[in-house]
Chains A and B, each alone.
Chain A
């Protein structure tokens, strides 16, 4: 069973190999809606919006405290490149996306399903197999042509996240500040779960060309970086994940 819904302003797809009750499937989407209500910076009454208006710490929910602790930890692990605070505004969406996909996967695992994937806006957590003993095939999208795939990965029990932009920075007129454009078109990170893949992809992308080196240095993680010269740079263990 495969289902897609738009939540958090992006398509979320759940595909479960074995037959699954509609109510169980719905509980996964309901979890994302709950997270959106709590962490959306676009919803005036979300907890994160209230925190940005000064909600005192003793009134924060346990989930929010967890997200803040994880963000703090990630900030330290990435030398400050991962930061949910920007100009005094707190926005943890860069962490919440991967974290919520990972938690939603746990819901399906607890319900007894072991062959599935959950994809939200291009970030994926994969469990088990797609067909008997065949792992799932995951394509990496060409950042220069969204209808094209430039790599096929064969994965089981992994998280895959891609950071990047379809708009090249240096072509954009920025009236505020003359910034150096990021010459990385996209950076894909594969980890044992989507929580790690997403947060480290986000931080490594912010490092520019240096990001792939950072991923190389992380245990259990592989990366595929595509530059604007249409060259890909990949980590030492990446080839083992390729389908052919």
Chain B
């Protein structure tokens, strides 16, 4: 069961990472990075690392996505 979940997670992560690099829109790229982080946090949970999973979910996919959007918003306003 765990094997199937981890295969699905890993496929989603790689696809999202490629999307983040090749997509033209910056907002889509930032969201895709957040999805990669969120999937990574589920993967840490399956690898018996709950501390790391909590940190990644709160910081990697929460705060850093928000920081990216704040900066994108500022760049849009400075135009």
Indicate whether A and B interact: no
Q: What residues make up the interface of A, taking CB atoms closer than 8 Å to B?
A: none
